[in-house]
Amino acid sequence: MRRKSVAALAACAVVIFVFPAVAEAMGREGPPGRWWRMPEVADALELSQADKDSLDELYVQNRRGLIELKNDLERERFELENILEQQNLDEKAAMEQFKKIERCRERLSMERFRYFLQVRKMLGHERYQKLMTMIRDFHGKREKRGGLEDLPPAAQ
């Protein structure tokens, strides 16, 4: 019974530490970084300097929040590692720590989605739809070529 519990917790640890990185890499919605500073994107979306400045401000605020949330998540993951490495495994403590990690992930996801909604609100429906089309085209070209070589140097 104890071996099954240890194996189950080890599997949870793999899910906690490996899956998020894979999911994040696969789940990117758009080009990385300050895509509105790419001249071809800014021109296509007809972004004014005020639009770019607003997006810059939102980006900085969002990144600061994400840094804090990611630090919280890493701290909680570290605590779980410590629990799992103890000689006498405390399953209840491990499960509680796992719940803390899940709450951190949820806050991180909520912050990312809040940013997404704010960008959409700033752009308005038409420019947002145009951006989504550009992103789909961007990902399609990248997948055909197989990598990052088609990204502008500032975005790599």
Higher pLDDT, residue 50 or 144: 50
Instruction: Render pLDDT for 62-107 as a digit per residue (tens, 0 to 9).
Output: 999 999 999 999 999 999 999 999 999 999 999 999 999 999 999 9
In the block, tokens 């990312």 appear at 112
Number of domains in the chain: 1
Residue 29 lies in a domain: no
Q: Residue 54 carries which side chain, given as an amino acid letter?
A: S
Please state, in angstroms and rounded to a whole number, the distance separating the CA atoms of residues 4 and 54: 53
Please state, in angstroms and rounded to a whole number, the distance separating the CA atoms of residues 154 and 142: 16
Residue 150 lies in a domain: yes
The residue segments making up the domain with residue 119 are 2-24+35-155
